[in-house]
A and B are shown apart, each in its own frame.
Chain A
Protein backbone atom coordinates (compact mmCIF):
# COMPACT_ATOMS: atom_id res chain seq x y z
CA UNK A 1 0.00 0.00 0.00
CA UNK A 2 2.92 2.34 0.72
CA UNK A 3 4.27 1.89 -2.81
CA UNK A 4 0.83 2.64 -4.24
CA UNK A 5 0.58 5.84 -2.18
CA UNK A 6 4.04 6.88 -3.36
CA UNK A 7 3.03 6.28 -6.99
CA UNK A 8 -0.18 8.33 -6.56
CA UNK A 9 1.74 11.19 -4.93
CA UNK A 10 4.29 11.21 -7.75
CA UNK A 11 1.51 11.24 -10.35
CA UNK A 12 -0.19 14.21 -8.71
CA UNK A 13 3.22 15.98 -8.50
CA UNK A 14 3.59 15.50 -12.27
CA UNK A 15 0.14 17.05 -12.77
CA UNK A 16 1.20 20.01 -10.59
CA UNK A 17 4.15 20.60 -12.92
CA UNK A 18 1.79 20.54 -15.91
CA UNK A 19 -0.44 23.15 -14.23
CA UNK A 20 2.62 25.31 -13.51
CA UNK A 21 2.83 25.91 -17.27
CA UNK A 22 -0.47 27.81 -17.03
CA UNK A 23 0.79 29.69 -13.97
CA UNK A 24 3.93 30.87 -15.77
CA UNK A 25 2.74 31.46 -19.35
CA UNK A 26 -1.02 31.91 -18.88
CA UNK A 27 -2.23 35.06 -20.62
CA UNK A 28 -3.50 37.50 -18.04
CA UNK A 29 -3.80 37.36 -14.27
CA UNK A 30 -7.13 35.50 -14.23
CA UNK A 31 -5.67 32.34 -15.77
CA UNK A 32 -2.88 32.46 -13.22
CA UNK A 33 -5.31 32.71 -10.30
CA UNK A 34 -7.37 29.76 -11.57
CA UNK A 35 -4.22 27.67 -12.04
CA UNK A 36 -2.91 28.54 -8.56
CA UNK A 37 -6.22 27.43 -7.06
CA UNK A 38 -5.85 24.12 -8.91
CA UNK A 39 -2.30 23.74 -7.57
CA UNK A 40 -3.62 24.34 -4.03
CA UNK A 41 -6.18 21.53 -4.24
CA UNK A 42 -3.55 19.10 -5.56
CA UNK A 43 -1.14 20.09 -2.78
CA UNK A 44 -3.83 19.27 -0.20
CA UNK A 45 -3.99 15.66 -1.39
CA UNK A 46 -0.17 15.41 -1.60
CA UNK A 47 0.11 16.63 2.03
CA UNK A 48 -2.31 13.97 3.27
CA UNK A 49 -0.54 11.21 1.30
CA UNK A 50 2.82 12.33 2.74
CA UNK A 51 1.21 12.05 6.17
CA UNK A 52 0.19 8.45 5.43
CA UNK A 53 3.72 7.69 4.20
CA UNK A 54 5.29 9.06 7.39
CA UNK A 55 2.66 7.27 9.59
CA UNK A 56 1.81 10.64 11.19
CA UNK A 57 -1.59 11.42 9.65
CA UNK A 58 -2.96 13.05 12.81
CA UNK A 59 -0.37 15.82 12.43
CA UNK A 60 -0.76 16.36 8.69
CA UNK A 61 -4.58 16.47 8.77
CA UNK A 62 -4.53 19.67 10.82
CA UNK A 63 -2.06 21.30 8.42
CA UNK A 64 -4.16 20.36 5.39
CA UNK A 65 -7.37 21.77 6.95
CA UNK A 66 -5.57 25.12 7.32
CA UNK A 67 -4.25 24.81 3.76
CA UNK A 68 -7.75 24.32 2.33
CA UNK A 69 -9.07 27.23 4.38
CA UNK A 70 -6.37 29.70 3.34
CA UNK A 71 -6.72 28.60 -0.29
CA UNK A 72 -10.42 29.50 -0.21
CA UNK A 73 -9.95 32.84 1.58
CA UNK A 74 -7.07 33.78 -0.72
CA UNK A 75 -9.15 33.02 -3.81
CA UNK A 76 -12.08 35.16 -2.62
CA UNK A 77 -9.72 38.00 -1.64
CA UNK A 78 -7.90 38.01 -4.98
CA UNK A 79 -11.21 37.93 -6.86
CA UNK A 80 -12.49 40.91 -4.89
CA UNK A 81 -9.23 42.80 -5.45
CA UNK A 82 -9.34 42.21 -9.21
CA UNK A 83 -12.98 43.26 -9.29
CA UNK A 84 -12.21 46.55 -7.53
CA UNK A 85 -9.12 47.14 -9.67
CA UNK A 86 -11.29 47.49 -12.77
Chain B
Protein backbone atom coordinates (compact mmCIF):
# COMPACT_ATOMS: atom_id res chain seq x y z
CA UNK B 1 0.00 0.00 0.00
CA UNK B 2 2.82 2.32 0.94
CA UNK B 3 4.61 1.66 -2.33
CA UNK B 4 1.53 2.37 -4.47
CA UNK B 5 0.98 5.62 -2.55
CA UNK B 6 4.60 6.72 -3.09
CA UNK B 7 4.58 5.82 -6.79
CA UNK B 8 1.33 7.74 -7.41
CA UNK B 9 2.62 10.76 -5.49
CA UNK B 10 5.88 10.67 -7.45
CA UNK B 11 4.06 10.47 -10.79
CA UNK B 12 1.84 13.43 -9.93
CA UNK B 13 4.82 15.49 -8.70
CA UNK B 14 6.82 14.70 -11.85
CA UNK B 15 3.84 15.74 -14.00
CA UNK B 16 3.60 18.99 -12.07
CA UNK B 17 7.31 19.64 -12.56
CA UNK B 18 6.96 18.99 -16.29
CA UNK B 19 4.17 21.55 -16.64
CA UNK B 20 6.13 24.02 -14.49
CA UNK B 21 9.03 23.62 -16.91
CA UNK B 22 6.84 24.15 -19.99
CA UNK B 23 5.27 27.25 -18.42
CA UNK B 24 8.72 28.64 -17.65
CA UNK B 25 9.93 28.01 -21.20
CA UNK B 26 6.82 29.76 -22.48
CA UNK B 27 7.39 32.72 -20.18
CA UNK B 28 10.98 33.05 -21.36
CA UNK B 29 10.58 32.43 -25.08
CA UNK B 30 7.23 33.88 -26.20
CA UNK B 31 7.38 37.24 -27.98
CA UNK B 32 4.93 39.54 -26.15
CA UNK B 33 3.04 39.99 -22.89
CA UNK B 34 -0.24 38.28 -23.77
CA UNK B 35 1.35 35.12 -25.14
CA UNK B 36 3.59 34.88 -22.08
CA UNK B 37 0.54 35.23 -19.83
CA UNK B 38 -1.18 32.55 -21.88
CA UNK B 39 1.69 30.19 -21.10
CA UNK B 40 1.94 30.86 -17.36
CA UNK B 41 -1.77 31.24 -16.69
CA UNK B 42 -2.75 27.79 -17.86
CA UNK B 43 0.50 25.94 -17.26
CA UNK B 44 1.02 27.10 -13.69
CA UNK B 45 -2.58 26.35 -12.69
CA UNK B 46 -2.38 22.78 -13.95
CA UNK B 47 1.11 22.28 -12.48
CA UNK B 48 0.15 23.58 -9.03
CA UNK B 49 -2.96 21.40 -8.96
CA UNK B 50 -1.01 18.28 -9.98
CA UNK B 51 1.76 18.93 -7.42
CA UNK B 52 -0.75 19.52 -4.61
CA UNK B 53 -2.69 16.34 -5.45
CA UNK B 54 0.60 14.40 -5.38
CA UNK B 55 1.56 15.82 -1.99
CA UNK B 56 -1.94 15.09 -0.62
CA UNK B 57 -1.66 11.47 -1.79
CA UNK B 58 1.71 11.15 -0.07
CA UNK B 59 0.34 12.65 3.14
CA UNK B 60 -2.43 10.06 3.40
CA UNK B 61 -5.85 10.43 5.00
CA UNK B 62 -5.56 13.11 7.67
CA UNK B 63 -6.22 16.80 8.35
CA UNK B 64 -3.10 17.91 6.46
CA UNK B 65 -4.18 16.38 3.15
CA UNK B 66 -7.61 18.04 3.52
CA UNK B 67 -5.86 21.40 3.90
CA UNK B 68 -3.61 20.69 0.91
CA UNK B 69 -6.67 19.89 -1.23
CA UNK B 70 -8.25 23.14 0.01
CA UNK B 71 -5.18 25.00 -1.29
CA UNK B 72 -5.65 23.17 -4.61
CA UNK B 73 -9.28 24.31 -4.90
CA UNK B 74 -8.28 27.85 -3.91
CA UNK B 75 -5.50 28.02 -6.50
CA UNK B 76 -7.80 26.54 -9.14
CA UNK B 77 -10.21 29.44 -8.57
CA UNK B 78 -7.74 32.23 -7.85
CA UNK B 79 -5.01 31.73 -10.43
CA UNK B 80 -7.19 32.24 -13.57
CA UNK B 81 -8.82 35.22 -11.86
CA UNK B 82 -5.53 37.00 -11.23
CA UNK B 83 -4.39 36.18 -14.77
CA UNK B 84 -7.60 37.71 -16.08
CA UNK B 85 -7.10 40.84 -13.95
CA UNK B 86 -3.53 41.42 -15.18
CA UNK B 87 -4.39 40.75 -18.84
CA UNK B 88 -7.39 43.11 -18.70
CA UNK B 89 -5.18 45.81 -17.21
CA UNK B 90 -2.75 45.21 -20.08
CA UNK B 91 -5.52 45.58 -22.67
CA UNK B 92 -6.82 48.76 -21.03
CA UNK B 93 -3.31 50.22 -20.95
CA UNK B 94 -2.93 49.54 -24.67
CA UNK B 95 0.00 47.16 -24.81
CA UNK B 96 1.14 46.22 -28.31
CA UNK B 97 -0.04 42.88 -29.65
CA UNK B 98 2.60 40.82 -31.43
CA UNK B 99 2.00 40.04 -35.09
CA UNK B 100 4.01 37.88 -37.45
CA UNK B 101 6.35 39.99 -39.53
CA UNK B 102 5.57 39.87 -43.25
CA UNK B 103 8.48 39.49 -45.63
CA UNK B 104 9.41 42.68 -47.45
CA UNK B 105 8.66 42.66 -51.14
CA UNK B 106 5.74 40.26 -50.95
CA UNK B 107 2.38 42.05 -50.99
Asked if A and B are interacting partners, one says yes
Chain B: minimal CB distance from A14 (Å):
9
Cα distance A8–B64 when bound, in Å?
A: 20
B48 adjacent to A41 (CB under 8 Å): yes
Interface residues of B, count at CB 8 A: 46
Residue B71 interfacial (CB < 8 Å): yes
Q: Across the interface, name the chain B residue whose C-beta is closest to A64.
A: B71
B71 adjacent to A38 (CB under 8 Å): no
Cα distance A63–B33 when bound, in Å?
A: 31
- Produce 1/0 per residue, A18-41, CB < 8 A to B: 110110000010110111011001
- Produce 1/0 per residue, B91-107, CB < 8 A to A: 01111000000000000
Q: Across the interface, name the chain B residue whose C-beta is closest to A69.
A: B74
A15 adjacent to B10 (CB under 8 Å): no
Please provide the chain B residues from 11 to 45 with a CB less than 8 Å away from any CB of chain A in the complex.
Answer: 13-14, 16-17, 20-21, 23-24, 27-28, 33, 36-37, 40, 44
Interface residues of A, count at CB 8 A: 44
**Which of A18, A28, A37, A76 contacts B28 (CB under 8 A)?**
A18
- Produce 1/0 per residue, A33-69, CB < 8 A to B: 1110110011011001100100001100110110011
B90 adjacent to A38 (CB under 8 Å): no
B67 adjacent to A79 (CB under 8 Å): no
Interface positions of A (Cβ within 8 A of B): 1, 4, 8, 11-12, 15, 18-19, 21-22, 28, 30-31, 33-35, 37-38, 41-42, 44-45, 48-49, 52, 57-58, 61-62, 64-65, 68-69, 71-72, 75-76, 78-80, 82-83, 85-86
